[in-house]
Amino acid sequence: MSHLQDAVFMAQAIKLANKGRYTTDPNPRVGCVIVKNNRVIAEGWHQRTGQGHAEVIALQNAGDASGATAYVTLEPCSHHGKTPPCCEALIQAGIKRVVVTMQDPNPLVAGQGLQKLRKAGVRVECGLLEQDARALNRGFIKRMETGKPWVVSKMAMSFDGRTAMASGESKWITSPESRADVHRLRAESSVILTGINTVLADDPSLNVRLENIEVLQPVRVVLDSSLQMPVTAKMLKLPGRTLVLTCTTDQSKQQPLIEAGAEVFCLPEEDGRLNLNEVMLFLAKQQINQVMVEAGATLNSVLLQMNLVDDWLVYMAPCILGAGGRGLFNLSEIQIMGDKIQLKIVNTRQIGPDIKFHFVAK
């Protein structure tokens, strides 16, 4: 089979994997296409944690797969977890060739699946469309490789760079189209993270509101160094988990929040405030792949200075809020041009009347 044909079938497998982008967390999104005599005989994708992996679902749909080629967007697992090893299922089905995008970074797999396949006489090829596969599972891969989640910060601003009026009023700067795009971003995230100042000012829900689309509601995380979180906060009454991270050990402050439905965790501090590096390490240990930050200038400024954000997403609306409005960052220490923080533009696109900018640290 030609390299071009291989690429076409793998692209199909990646498209299948993308169907699970709202529901597989904390597992990676994986797709599988089985081809026999140059014809697709079955396909499958991992839909939800605890359910069948992509390879097993495809094999169940394949009938006689002996002598076939399997295209998989991540190395087949080799260990018994909530489901049996996929590499053994491929071997037992008589698959003769397996093409994968990349080795699984999970230490429980890490090449062992490929090794088992080769040992059983299966021809294995690795590396096809790897960059596409990495983009699909960037949070899972970063967590496995670095012990930290992928972090995306979302901000909205006016044409003159204001995020709110001086009073704090901010609803709505951007359009319904941009807000719908934000909900899709929320849906593919493991966590929506904000600071206590945003909770006190806006009492946000931090949930996903998409019609006719199955999603796993992301975990809500509030950074609250001194435990000012009100027990009446809207998010505590919503389905799903709300984590309050603090460096306050006072049980009299923690207990009312726990009784209201929050999960309170005490983490290391730095100068009396939560150490954000420790926050990210903690979230990764909670099997959090991707964090979406929806916060104000103070928290975003610290995240920027500590280089903890992988993607900066800024929605700019064609409106003017004036000189009294609040800015994206609080960085008063930048006084001269030589101290400016330079970002790189990845892309821009129009969403409704707004423009969405994607930046990364340079």
Specify the residue for token string 């906060």. Answer: 233
Q: Are 42 and 68 in contact (CB under 8 A)?
A: no
Neighbour tally for 315: CB within 10 Å: 22
Distance CA 267, CA 244 (A): 10
Q: What is the DSSP letter of 279?
A: H
Q: Which of 43, 55, 75, 294 is catalytic?
A: 55
| 263 has catalytic annotation | no
Specify the residue for token string 């979406």. Answer: 292
DSSP string, 80-131: -SSS--HHHHHHHTT--EEEESS---STTTTTHHHHHHHHTT-EEEE-TTHH
Q: Which residues contact 32 (CB under 8 A, 6 or more apart)?
A: 13, 16, 43, 44, 45, 54, 55, 57, 58, 70, 71, 72, 73
Specify the residue for token string 């959090």. Answer: 288
Query: What does the block give as tokens for 212?
Result: 């006719």
For the chain, the distance separating the N- and C-terminal CA atoms, rounded to the nearest angstrom, is 41
Neighbour tally for 41: CB within 10 Å: 16
Distance CA 338, CA 203 (A): 38
Specify the residue for token string 């509101």. Answer: 209
Which residues are designated catalytic? 55
